[in-house]
Amino acid sequence: MKVLTYIKDSYDELVNKVSWPSSKELSNSAVVVLVASLLIALVIFGMDKAIEELMKFIYNLLS
């Protein structure tokens, strides 16, 4: 019986108490996430390339 009450309360909360974002708010948030993800990927790519060049330089000094 407790499980059914929980499910009913959960449904009631999702339908009546949760404020869902509008379509415009959702698409704006998606764009922000996309841009932030691309910027982070570019920073990681740049760090990877810098470390790669540094390691090549060190290996060339040692050989």
What value, to the nearest 5°, has the Cα angle with vertex 36 and ends 33 and 39? 150
pLDDT band of residue 28 (cuts 50, 70, 90) is: very high
Alpha-carbon gap, residue 52 to 46, rounded angstroms: 10
**41 assigned to some structural domain:** yes
Q: What phi, psi does 62 have (nearest 5°)?
A: -80, -20
**45 assigned to some structural domain:** yes
50 is in which domain, residue-wise? 21-63
| pTM of full prediction above 0.85 | no
Whether the predicted pLDDT of 1 surpasses 90? no
Q: How many domains does the chain have?
A: 1
**7 assigned to some structural domain:** no
